[in-house]
Amino acid sequence: METDERSLFSRIIDREIPADIVYEDDEVIAFRDIAPKAPVHLLVVPKTGQYRDVAELAAGDPALLATVVATAKRLADEHANGDFRLIFNTGAGAGQTVFHVHAHVLSAPGEGNSLEEGNLAD
């Protein structure tokens, strides 16, 4: 029997699982986190499932990592006030649950609003 080893995020990319997709191009997809930890909480995910975490991505395809960061900035400009916190949980001990590299983009909408520092390590 074949097992489906694709990640949850690959299944979202393939439209097998619904998500609130806010951006997509040939290299990355971005959608709203199902359990938001900030007023704006988006996930930016490379379409390739070949990198488990940001350390693997940085070593294997630094240009794609730069694309993830540039996408985060563009989305923070579009969905929030342009400032954002970028989090890559790396390893189960750091809270990573989906082993398909993804950036959490946390931000607050509206001029003058900001994230609370206390949210950093929740």
Q: Give contact residues for ligand 5GP (rule: CB under 6 A).
A: 8, 17, 19, 31-35, 89, 95-98
Q: How far is the CB of 113 from ligand 5GP (least distance, A)?
A: 21
- Convert 44-83 to b/e letters by CB count within 10 Å (16 or more is b): bbbbbbebbbbeebeeebeebbebbeebbeebbeebbbee
- List 41, 100, 102, 104, catalytic entry: 102
Nearer to ligand 5GP (CB atom), residue 95 or residue 109: 95
Q: How far is the CB of 111 from ligand 5GP (least distance, A)?
A: 27
